[in-house]
Amino acid sequence: MKKLGDVVVVAPDSPQSGMGHAITIGETLRLYEEDIFEDVVAFKSSGTPADCVKLAKHHVLKERKPDLVVSGINHGSNTSISVLYSGTMSAAIEGALEGYPSIGFSLCDYSSKAEFDHLEEYVYKICKQVLDHGMAKGVALNVNFPPKRNESIRGIKICRQAHAKWQEVFEERFDPNGRNYFWMAGNFVNFDKGEDNDEWAIANNYVSIVPCQYDLTAHHAISQMNQDWNWEMF
């Protein structure tokens, strides 16, 4: 990001995977300036990723308007349905809510030894495209990178979200005091056979870009409900 302009970091002070679009209500919200990046103003917050964007807008950058909000790079995939659970993407979507061009980046590799060095040129190019061409209002980009492989990344695909989901299993366990607790496990199942979705792109060594929006209205259902449902009984 330093190649593109002045950078200000506001980030959570602890891992926030699976936080979704949670915000801190009814609890204290801490914010501390940190000197951990060279020539970059940085703050850590006790809040969620979405909190960090709000704090950046209303406190850290209250006299400035950012040109771009960037979240990540997340360690692990945020393709398909994972976008709903992702703290990384929720920060980007919060940026879009505030009216800023916003991007969430994720690497589809959960290994503790995952390599990120092959992503830099793509992060730069994608951010440069957004700065040069702008973004539709209310849209955030969900960008996922394939893990580092023997062959180079084959290119970039603009995709739709794949039809896939997590099939969870809740294992009941017992602590040393004999009290039961549950541990969530499960498998990711891809039902999508198309070649225009983010799961296909990653599997075939492409960078996937899915334009996302915060409007969750199922517009196609409105006319059907108005036409077929009977409201006269009320």
Annotated binding site for a divalent metal cation: 17, 74
Q: Are 92 and 209 in contact (CB under 8 A)?
A: no
Q: Which residue has the tokens 């056979």?
A: 193
Q: CA quadruple 20, 25, 27, 28: dihedral positive or negative? A: positive
Going by their DSSP bridges, the two strands 156-158 and 139-145 should be labelled as: unpaired
Show the CA angle centred on residue 69, arms to residues 64 and 70, nearest 5°: 145
Residue type at 76? G
Report residue 107 as tokens.
């690497």
* Rounded Cα–Cα distance for residues 71 and 34 (Å): 18
Residue type at 1? M
Q: CA torsion 134→214→70→147, rounded to 10°?
A: -110
Going by their DSSP bridges, the two strands 139-145 and 41-45 should be labelled as: unpaired
Residues at the binding site are 17, 74
* Rounded Cα–Cα distance for residues 114 and 108 (Å): 9
Q: Annotate 75-133 with DSSP letters as a single string.
A: ES---TTHHHH-HHHHHHHHHHHTT--EEEEEES---TT---TTSHHHHHHHHHHHHHH
